[in-house]
Amino acid sequence: MNTVAAVRLSVLDRSRTREGADPAGALRDTVRLAREAEALGYHRFWVSEHHGVPGVAGSAPTVLAAAVAAATSRIRVGTGGVMLPNHRPLVVAEQFGVLESLFPGRIDMGLGRSVGFTDPVRRALGHDKKDADGFAGQLDELLGWFTGGPDEHPGVHAYPAEGLRVPPFVLATGEGATVAARAGLPLVIGDLRGRERLLAAVDAYREGFRPSAWAERPYVVVAGTVVVAGTEAAARRLLVPEAWSMAYSRTHGVFPPLLPPERVAALTMTARERELYESGLSGHVAGTAEQVARELSAVVAESGADEVLVTTSTYERDALLDSFRRLAGLAGLASLTSADA
């Protein structure tokens, strides 16, 4: 049974840079993809936060979200996510207050607890790994700015956020699922390759969920790479650039721009690189429309997900868009006509 049509489908784009292209091009590609996702009928379009990473241009998600929202008219726009330990909660509240004021009813506030990609980046940000331990308290403070100001800051107000309702989501990394449950917030969790861990975390989230002013019941968004192509070989080709970037980052400490699949195929890899690369190609939801419909339906049925957030990155932008079109088709999304778009 195809249960994909029963859930919302959304997109996260990380503004991945490509060999031979500059970061400005990657950011413009993100805005173009958002317009295309809106025309295809996707529910939301989110952007991410990465600092000091050569392969990712998206370092200021609220700024990029503003550009995306200005270029679209219907699709929800948000962050997947703002890494809260990197920022003061007051400033984050102000930023989302501005976004919601400019684009009312369309803004999502996805929040994560990661702190930098490497030790030098964390030092440049003025933080270290242990700062992630304060995420729950930072989250409470941030939400407090929307409802009248936290008790620890009497007389201070977050304008224009105060009184606005910007839906918050918690990205599950480490203790994220527990924090989301205790705070009574929607959960975003991935990736689809670690199915047993994902399902265990989702079960724990639902069991520990406490209804809040922000959400009356658990809401689960499962996130991961989903690729739909005409053949299995074509789908695998789309996975190659990201698989190599991940393997390279694990062995060199640097997350590089995406290479064309042909360049990756011609590389001489060490045994460790080859192991990580092959691992990076496996476990994703990828294949023909029939294969993806079957596998993604199983993910939704097993997890009880309310929404699927597609995080696919690849070198060939036209092929990426074709994958999103095929996925929209098998899910029965309501595409806009050119006049509507």
- H or E, element range at 187: strand 187-189
Contact yes or no for 10/42 (Cβ under 8 A): yes
CB 325 within 8 A of CB 40: yes
The whole-angstrom separation of Cα 257 and Cα 245 is: 7
Kindly report each contact of residues 202-211 with a partner whose C-beta sits within 8 Å and lies 24 or more positions away, as own/partner.
202/177, 202/303, 202/304, 202/305, 204/177, 204/178, 205/172, 205/177, 205/178, 205/180, 205/181, 206/181, 206/304, 207/181, 208/178, 208/181, 208/182, 209/181, 209/184, 210/181, 210/182, 210/183, 210/184, 211/184
Helices (H), the chain: 23-40, 61-71, 89-102, 119-125, 135-146, 176-183, 195-208, 232-252, 261-265, 271-281, 289-303, 317-331
The per-residue pLDDT string of the chain (341 residues; one tens digit each, 9 = 90 and over) reads: 567 888 999 999 999 999 999 999 999 999 999 999 999 999 999 999 999 889 999 999 999 999 999 999 999 999 999 999 999 999 999 999 999 999 999 999 999 998 877 888 888 888 888 888 899 999 999 999 999 877 788 889 999 999 999 999 999 865 789 999 999 999 999 878 878 889 999 999 999 999 999 999 999 999 999 999 999 999 999 999 999 999 999 999 889 999 999 999 999 999 999 999 999 999 999 999 999 999 999 999 999 999 999 999 999 999 999 999 999 999 999 765 444 44
Q: What 3 state SS string does 318-331 have?
A: HHHHHHHHHHHHHH
Identify the pLDDT of residue 2: 66
Q: Phi/psi class of residue 287: alpha, beta or left (left: φ > 0; alpha: ψ in -120 to 50)?
A: left
In angstroms, the CA 241 to CA 114 distance is: 24
**Left if phi > 0, otherwise alpha if psi is -120 to 50, otherwise beta: which for 203?**
alpha
pTM, two decimals, is 0.94
d(CA 12, CA 313): 9
Are 241 and 38 a contacting pair, CB within 8 Å? Answer: no
Asked if residues 302 and 8 have their Cβ atoms less than 8 Å apart, the reply is no
The whole-number pLDDT of residue 118 equals: 81
- In contact, 320 and 11? CB cutoff 8 Å: no
